Structure formats: C-alpha cells, structure tokens
Amino acid sequence: MAESKLFLKENPTMADFQQYVKEMKAERGFRVEPIYECCLLAEEVGELISAVRKNTKGGSIGSGSVAGNVKLELADVLIYLCSIANIHGISLEEAFREKEEINKQRTWKRL
C-alpha cells in the first residue's frame, strides 16, 4: 500500500476541506457521482441521527448495540457535503454566506 500524500493544514478553511476531500477521493479511487454521493450522505446522516439518539440522556439502545460516535459521524457528513459541493463546483463558504444573508432577512417564528 502506497503512503498517502494527503495533508490538511492546521486551522483549515472550508476551501481547504473541499480540496482535501477532492484529493482524498482521487487518491483512494472512490467513485464520485452526484446521485451516489447523495445516497452516501443520506446514509451518513442516518448514522449521525442514530448516534445522537443513542447518546442522548434517556435514549435507548438494543442489547449488543453500541452508542455511535457523534464526532466521527459528523466528520463523515462533512466529507460527503464537501464532495457534493465539489461535484457541482460550489464553494461551501460562499454558499453559506449567501444563504445566511437571505436568512437574516427572514422573520423567524418560534413554535
């Protein structure tokens, strides 16, 4: 097995994360197709939800089941978000800033 050349600098920007994921997918020979990546994202979000539920006070897990690692599941979700953004040529930082400017103009109701 060849040594990985992947490197993520200290205090990375969102663009750094996106570039890292792009290089990681190429280095590992992962398939990068929009629908496939969306399916994998949905799967990881499900795992995140399960981990949060299992780690919530009063949550229940079946015998033989183990509480999931929320931190690692969040990382998986971030990887697929970056990958999907890369496929579509979208800067997640720019998208976040644009959407937040829209959200600042909205009126928010509490239920």
pLDDT in tens, 85-97: 999 999 999 999 9
Closest listed residue to residue 95, CA positions, set 84, 109, 108: 84
Look at 33 and 108; give whichever has higher pLDDT. Answer: 33
**Structural domain boundaries, residue 59:** 14-104
89 in any annotated domain: yes
Indicate which CATH number applies to the domain containing 99: 1.10.287.1080
Give residue 58's pLDDT band: very low, low, confident or very high (50, 70, 90).
low
Q: What is the mean pLDDT of residues 46-60?
A: 83
Biggest CA–CA distance in the chain, Å, is: 54
Domain count, the chain: 1
20 in any annotated domain: yes
Look at 58 and 105; give whichever has higher pLDDT. Answer: 105
Torsion angle of the four alpha carbons 4, 7, 98, 83, in this order, in degrees rounded to the nearest 10: 10
6 in any annotated domain: no
Cβ pair 32, 25 in contact under 8 A: yes
pLDDT at 67: 64
Q: What is the mean pLDDT of residues 40-69?
A: 80
Mean pLDDT of all residues belonging to the chain = 91
pLDDT at 68: 79
pLDDT at 3: 87
